[in-house]
Amino acid sequence: MRASGILMHLTSLPGPYGVGTMGKAAYEFVDFLEAAGQKYWQILPLCPTGYGDSPYQSFSTFAGNPYLIDLDTLVDQGLLRKDEIEAYCWQERENKVCYRLLYENRGKVLHKAFERFRPDEKYEAYVAQQQDWLPDYALFMTLKEVYPGGDWLSWPEDLRLRREDALTQAAKTYDAEIRYQYFLQYTFRCQWEALRAYAKGKEISIIGDVPIYVPLDSADVWANYDLFQLGEDRRPKLVAGCPPDGFTADGQLWGNPLYDWETMKATGYAWWLRRLGAAATLFDVVRLDHFRGFESYWAVPAGETTAKNGSWQPGPGMDFIGVLKKKLPELDFIAEDLGFLTPEVKQMQKDSGYPGMKVLEFAFDSREPSDYLPYRYTTNSICYLGTHDNMTMQQWFDEAKPEDVAYAKEYMGLNQEEGYVWGMLRGGMGAVSKLFVGQMQDYLGLGAEGRMNFPGLLSDANWTWRAKDGVFTAELAKRIYALTKLYGRI
């Protein structure tokens, strides 16, 4: 069945407390999606953000981000007072997240809620169900407060190497802070399950994102070091990246530790099954980030300053994909198959049966025909106008080469009366792909100010865009609905 959806991360929702949350604005956005005839809401990873405030650099792949906890809901539950929230400054600009203010103030308010919280049977059941990751994560986050300013490799040796006596003693010493972390995760889960149930009642499915890699400074690596290519000192021997290409002469040096796929296979990919099984409790569809990395991945010797001296190493391939299909048959996946695609990667995507991504913004290179031109799409694909890593469509029209813009206008039949961006949205809606996903920024007609992320750039421009209050109007929903209906996606 043909359908469409909108990409809009939770942090980008409007609201009074500096960042989008699982509160009133989220429910109103679900209502907007329903009115606009959309069947999918795509978001970015929900994990706690780490270095650079990126949802793709998280302290845990299993945990939820406490920044997304709605404070007004805690007021309704009697765990906070309104004046306690309003005592803090939450934002400098309405349409931009200030992570500094969140870092300084969020914990103070959430600690007050924790002090008033009284565990019940539902809480105890949640903690019991999450024993395969929650104790390690809670201790990890607590120790990061005890030993600030560095990653876990800077901790005392007994804790760094996870000696049992040291872990047991730390758990006793910091019991209150560990319980606080439990409270945050329980609260996140309760609010998320309520929001997801509301979306389900409106027949809106949620597409989540699972990054292929986890950062070194994470509970995942600290607690599962044997699953990564680390030395005896627990430091990476090789790190992740991308090779040089026409856009980056030095390649991209991501720095994430690489998986030990032989060990992963020997365990039946148990960690990955737990990871994706956890995702299945949060999302209806999972976008597998950097899908080509499962066929082969670019490995760079640790200590290199660029990615130029890396090499391709074999990934787990269809052996891994086959296990996913067998063990998680109820979970739908999208293969993020962007980047340098070899025949082997294309064959793996085809063999997996997972739909790949077609990004319309990439289609109009006037020098040569592109694989992203709509006439090359197949039904088993997801058409995106752009993603969180790309320019908004208006920015592309403002900054792309004139000959590329001219090519797009000719190919798509664009005109000023309709608007070039809406003409592109129309083209995406009309594609044969079974699902079309448009960014909310493009429906709002935003330029460079609406871009979500600039890959490879550490800046407060990344991950900070927020929609202004009142922009999700009935008129906009009506226009989106009409376009969606015109192309058979209702």
Catalytic residue among 336, 337, 361, 442: 336
Cα 362 → chain centroid: 21
Catalytic residue among 84, 260, 389, 404: 389
Tokens standing for residue 167: 């872990």
Phi, psi of 334 (to 5 degrees): -115, 130
DSSP strand pairing (332-335 vs 285-288): parallel
How far is Cα 456 from Cα 227, in angstroms, rounded to an integer?
26
Cα 188 → chain centroid: 16
- Which is nearest to 337 in space by CA: 379, 294, 373? 294
How far is Cα 28 from Cα 156, in angstroms, rounded to an integer?
47
Determine how many CB atoms are found less than 10 A away from the CB of residue 119.
13
How far is Cα 331 from Cα 328, in angstroms, rounded to an integer?
6
Residues with Cβ < 8 Å from 86, sequence gap 6 or more? none
- 177 noted as active-site residue: no
Determine how many CB atoms are found less than 10 A away from the CB of residue 206.
20
| Contact predicate 51/217, CB 8 Å | yes
Number of residues in the chain: 490
- Which is nearest to 282 in space by CA: 352, 197, 203? 197
- 389 noted as active-site residue: yes
Tokens standing for residue 357: 């991504």
- Which is nearest to 239 in space by CA: 300, 291, 292, 312? 300
Largest CA distance in the chain: 71
Catalytic residue among 158, 289, 304, 365: 289
| Contact predicate 442/425, CB 8 Å | yes
Q: Where are the alpha helices (DSSP H) in 134-260?
A: 134-146, 157-160, 164-173, 175-201, 219-223
| Contact predicate 41/422, CB 8 Å | no
Residue numbers annotated as active site: 289, 336, 389
